[in-house]
Each structure stands twice: as structure tokens, then as C-alpha cells.
């Protein structure tokens, strides 16, 4: 059975999902605008609407109510560069960006190309991390990305990597028009300023009748470590008041580190939420709120002490689960879906889904699925079916501390199971329905052998269908 037949063999959309009617909105060429607004290392659990008592995220919570939250969203390779490669190309990491500091392959098209061909103006603002910078070259903030390696966007203001929220340098242009300067304040605030400036320019052009529909991606590094937030946000959190997830061990060294880091982390998340609200206010002020799809997500999560681990790169829930919300207008179709959807959307699916929101067909070189039907209800079409599973992988490990130092493959399923393996060796098996905090590893318990073998066979199918190469164990 091929990948398509597997993915279409799952159950239909939950009956509880709501369908809201949306008015037809006049816009350039009849096409909606789209904004990607995404953070770095923001785990899905760290939202108020997902019952995190530490999180203050009223903007994201509201977007999750007025739009669709894909509660099954995952970062299939929970690391910055591979995720971004898949995000922009719609391809799996082993066909795009295979590891940390690997560049986007020469000549590989990105989502900018089909959008531009459809008449869109395209922009990328913020963290790029696809230029091929190596740590031996110095500080990444001072690295200038080759203009030919900026994804083909019409407007590009970004940086390779930073990890210093009050000392963030951006660059762009080429030749005599090249620029490189330090942002005047906190990174998330300043990058949001640049996005809002771009939105205002595009709105003015659209009002004049000379504009194009636009696509803009804004990538900010917070809440990535180091966990530094503006003082007015940081002062609202104390390490002594942090509430831990049940899977954070009682070991003092882990809890002390986790509490301190989480206090800064949640302050950064609140600031991120505030800036997302600024974007929404700008769309409203410019008359674009009803013809712009607003997509909020993250590149991967952060363990923050869960399972006794920190950062990312593991297949555990806190590392792979990311927020994913589609809100804003649906001007082209009769209605739109709202509410929480248990949809397994992975990084390669985001670009095809974005094109689908614009009424555009995905190009053949994109490997992901267009899941826009879980937001848009097209006239005369049946309810969509849920993907049965999502593919997890680490192709080239980073070798960093607080990281899994071996390649692995795995999957998480719609029916609530997770399996991961090293080369020819089972590693993890969890029943997430009864063990959401992954405290009982069943991978080597033969009572669950039948389940393990079922998941192994499905994982083998993923390897074959995606053209991957990995030695999946037989048992």
C-alpha cells in the first residue's frame, strides 16, 4: 500500500468541528494574503488554551477559538535548520536540510516560487539559518547570507542565527543596496515592527489598486534559549512559582535548572503573544483582517526538564509537539472550520497547506500534504479525512549537549501511539492515550509485541514512501 492510500484510510473529520460562514471579500486578483508568524522552541503545551497554568497567551488562545488549532501538529525533525528546510520546500529533511548548519540545497525551490508565479509579493523577515554558516566562522549574527541563497523572496530582511535577543543584527539587499544593522531593541519587538511596516506598505499598494496579494513570513528566535525577556515581562515570573509537568523528575539539579529556565521562557512566550496581537491590530487598522490568513506555529518544542532532559532533538512530546493555528479570513470559499482538530500536520505539510489556503495547487516537487481542507470548507466537497500518522526522524545529529546523539526514526499515530527506533533497535513505545507524559516505555515489553510490530510495519512504509534510508528493526 502506498503512502497516499495509508493517509486516506483514516477516519473522517470529527463531527464536533464547527463550520462558520465567511463573507466574500474583494482583494487583488481574488486571492487572500497570508502571514506566517512563528517562534523558535515554543512547545505546544506552553499555551493557556492547552491548560498550561504557567502560560499567559490570550492572543493565541483567542486565535485558537476563532480559527483552527491543529492539536496533532509535530516537528518531525525537532531542530531549527531541518524544520526550516522542510517548511520552505515542502520536502522531508533527508531530501532538503539534513542537519544543523546545513544549507538549503543549491537551486532547490521554495514556497516563494509558486506564490510569485500566482501573482503574490513575497517577504521573509527574521531568523533564516539556512545559509550554511559554520560555528568555526565566528558569530552567526555577523554572517551575511548569499543573496542567491535567500529562498527567492522579493523582500528579505533576516539573519542566519543569533541567540542574543538584545543584540540581534539583520541584513538584506545586495551590492550597493546591501545593509547590515543592529536592531534597536528586543528581537521579537523589532522584527514585529518590520513585519508591520511591510504589511502597511502592501496595504497602501492594495488600496491604490496597484498592489498584489502578499505572503509574509516572520520568524523570531524567542522563546529559544538563552531565556532572556524584556524586564517588564520577566518580572512577572519567579522560579519559585513555576508549575512543573508531571514528567519532570524530582532530582534537585533538574528542577532547579528547569524552574529558572522556565521563568524566562514563559516571559518570552507572553511577549511573543503580545507581538502577535500587534500584528492582528495592524491587519485590522489596514483593513486586511478579513482577507488575510494568519498562521501561527513554531519550529519545535523544548523539553525544559521533562524526562530529565532539556532543549530538543528527542521524539518526546515536549520536543516534537508544536502550536499550529490557522485563523483570519476565508474569502474564497463558503465557510471555514473552527475549533480544535486532532490533525497530524508535519513540517513538509505546511507549504502545501498554505498554497491550498490561497486556492493554489501544490507543485510536484513538494512531498507534504495540503491539509487546508481542515480550515476551508469548499462547496460540494466531502469532509476531509484525518492523516493516520506523522513521520519522525533525526538524520544527522548535532552532537551537542542536551541532545540525542544518534540518528533515529519514528512515528506518532492518530490512534494515540508513538514508536521510535535507533538503527536496527527498538527504542521507545508509548500509549499516549493513557500515558500522555510518556512515563511507561513499552518498547521492550513483549506484552505489547503485536502493537510494536504494527507500528514497525507502518514505519517501514513511511521509510519506503518518502525514499528514506534507515534500518528499521524487524521486532
Instruction: Please state the φ and ψ torsions of residue 410, each to the nearest 5 degrees.
Output: -170, -175
pLDDT digits (tens, 9 = 90+) for 393-407: 999 999 899 989 999
Task: Count the Cβ atoms, other than its own, within 10 Å of residue 460.
Answer: 15
Report domain extents, the chain: 18-387, 406-465
pLDDT at 12: 43
| Residues 213-217, mean pLDDT to the nearest whole number | 98
| Residues 227-248, mean pLDDT to the nearest whole number | 96
Segments in 19-147 forming alpha helices (H): 58-66, 80-89, 112-117
The pLDDT of residue 21 is above 90: no
**Structural element, H or E, at residue 391:** strand 389-394
Look up the pTM and report it.
0.93
Name the band, by pLDDT with cuts 50, 70 and 90, for residue 14. very low
Torsion of CA 280, 283, 285, 290, to 10 degrees: -110
Question: Helix, strand or coil for residue 158?
Answer: strand
pLDDT at 3: 36
Write a three-state SS string for 31-83. CCEEEEEEECCCCCCCCHHHCCCCCCCHHHHHHHHHCEEECCCECCCCCHHHH
Cα separation, 430 vs 407, whole angstroms? 19
**Residue 332 or 42, more confident:** 42
Residues whose CB falls within 8 Å of the CB of residue 127, separated by 6 or more in sequence, listed in order: 40, 80, 158, 159, 161, 162, 219, 220, 221
Cα separation, 348 vs 274, whole angstroms? 28
CA 438 to chain centre: 22
Contact indicator for 49, 69 with CB cutoff of 8 Å:
yes
Residues whose CB falls within 8 Å of the CB of residue 5, separated by 6 or more in sequence, listed in order: none
pLDDT at 101: 94
Cα separation, 62 vs 42, whole angstroms? 18
The pLDDT of residue 9 is above 70: no
Average pLDDT, rounded, for the chain = 92
| Residues 85-112, mean pLDDT to the nearest whole number | 97
Q: Within 13 Å of residue 322, how many CA atoms lie on the same side as its CB?
A: 32
Identify the CATH number of the domain defined by range 18-387: 3.40.720.10
pLDDT digits (tens, 9 = 90+) for 267-322: 999 999 999 999 999 999 999 998 999 999 999 999 999 999 999 999 999 999 99
- Identify which of 189, 121, 203 has the alpha carbon closest to the alpha carbon of residue 156: 121
Which three three-digit cell numbers place residue 356?
A: 491550498
Name the band, by pLDDT with cuts 50, 70 and 90, for residue 379. confident
Residues whose CB falls within 8 Å of the CB of residue 225, separated by 6 or more in sequence, listed in order: 41, 163, 261, 302, 311
Minimum mean pLDDT among 1-5, 124-128, 188-192, 469-473: which range? 1-5
Which three three-digit cell numbers place residue 218?
A: 516572520
pLDDT over 90, % of the chain: 86
The pLDDT of residue 88 is above 60: yes
Minimum mean pLDDT among 69-83, 93-107, 216-230, 317-331: which range? 317-331
The pLDDT of residue 118 is above 80: yes
The residues facing 326 across adjacent strands are 68, 295
pLDDT at 25: 36
Cα separation, 126 vs 193, whole angstroms? 11
Contact indicator for 12, 381 with CB cutoff of 8 Å:
no
Residue 255, exposed/middle/buried by CB under 10 A (0-12, 13-18, 19+)?
Answer: middle
Residues whose CB falls within 8 Å of the CB of residue 241, separated by 6 or more in sequence, listed in order: none
Strand order in the sheet with 408-413: 389-394, 408-413, 417-422, 425-431
pLDDT at 335: 67
Q: Within 13 Å of residue 194, how many CA atoms lie on the same side as its CB?
A: 27
The pLDDT of residue 15 is above 50: no
Amino acid at each position: 500500500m502506498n503512502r497516499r492510500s495509508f493517509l486516506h484510510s483514516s477516519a473522517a473529520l470529527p463531527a464536533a468541528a464547527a463550520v462558520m460562514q465567511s463573507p466574500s471579500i474583494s482583494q487583488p486578483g481574488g486571492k487572500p494574503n497570508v502571514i506566517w508568524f512563528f517562534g523558535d522552541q515554543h512547545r505546544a503545551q506552553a499555551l493557556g488554551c492547552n491548560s498550561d497554568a504557567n502560560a499567559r497567551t490570550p492572543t493565541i488562545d483567542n486565535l485558537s477559538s476563532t480559527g483552527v488549532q491543529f492539536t496533532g501538529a509535530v516537528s518531525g525533525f525537532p531542530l531549527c535548520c531541518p524544520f526550516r528546510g522542510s517548511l520552505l520546500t515542502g520536502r522531508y529533511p533527508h531530501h532538503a536540510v539534513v542537519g544543523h548548519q546545513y544549507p538549503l540545497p543549491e537551486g532547490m525551490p521554495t514556497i516563494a516560487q509558486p506564490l510569485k508565479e500566482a501573482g503574490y509579493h513575497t517577504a521573509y523577515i527574521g531568523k533564516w539559518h539556512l545559509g550554511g554558516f559554520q560555528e568555526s566562522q565566528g558569530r552567526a549574527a555577523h554572517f551575511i547570507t548569499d543573496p542567491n541563497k535567500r529562498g527567492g523572496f522579493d523582500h528579505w530582511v533576516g539573519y542566519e542565527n543569533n541567540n542574543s535577543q538584545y543584540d540581534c543584527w539583520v541584513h538584506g539587499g545586495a551590492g550597493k543596496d546591501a545593509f547590515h544593522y543592529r536592531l534597536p531593541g528586543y528581537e521579537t519587538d523589532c522584527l514585529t515592527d518590520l513585519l508591520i511596516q511591510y504589511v502597511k506598505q502592501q496595504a497602501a499598494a492594495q488600496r491604490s489598486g496597484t498592489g498584489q496579494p502578499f505572503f509574509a513570513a516572520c520568524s523570531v528566535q524567542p522563546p529559544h534559549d538563552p531565556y532572556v525577556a524584556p524586564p517588564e515581562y520577566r518580572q512577572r515570573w519567579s522560579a519559585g512559582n513555576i508549575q512543573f509537568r508531571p514528567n519532570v523528575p524530582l532530582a534537585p539539579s533538574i528542577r532547579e535548572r528547569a524552574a529558572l529556565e522556565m521563568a524566562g521562557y514563559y516571559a518570552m512566550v507572553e511577549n511573543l503573544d503580545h507581538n502577535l496581537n500587534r500584528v492582528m491590530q495592524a491587519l485590522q487598522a489596514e483593513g486586511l483582517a478579513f482577507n488575510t490568513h494568519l498562521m501561527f506555529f513554531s519550529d519545535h518544542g523544548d523539553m525544559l526538564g521533562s524526562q530529565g532532559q532539556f532543549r530538543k532533538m528527542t521524539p518526546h512530546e515536549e520536543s516534537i509537539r508544536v502550536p499550529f493555528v490557522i485563523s483570519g479570513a476565508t474569502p474564497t470559499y463558503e465557510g471555514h472550520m473552527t475549533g480544535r482538530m486532532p490533525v497530524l500536520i508535519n513540517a513538509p505539510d505546511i507549504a502545501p497547506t498554505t498554497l491550498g489556503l490561497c486556492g493554489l495547487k501544490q507543485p510536484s516537487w513538494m512531498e507534504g500534504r495540503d491539509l487546508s481542507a481542515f480550515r476551508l470548507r469548499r462547496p460540494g466537497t466531502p469532509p476531509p479525512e484525518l492523516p493516520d500518522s506523522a513521520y519522525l526522524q533525526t538524520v544527522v545529529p548535532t552532537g551537542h549537549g542536551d541532545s540525542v546523539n544518534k540518528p533515529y526514526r519514528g512515528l506518532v499515530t492518530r490512534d494515540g501511539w508513538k514508536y521510535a527506533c535507533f538503527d536496527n533497535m527498538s527504542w521507545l513505545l508509548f500509549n499516549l492515550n493513557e500515558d500522555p507524559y510518556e512515563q511507561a516505555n513499552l518498547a521492550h515489553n513483549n506484552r505489547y509485541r503485536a502493537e510494536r510490530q504494527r507500528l514497525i510495519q507502518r514505519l517501514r512504509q513511511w521509510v519506503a514512501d518518502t525514499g528514506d534510508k534507515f534500518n528499521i528493526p524487524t521486532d
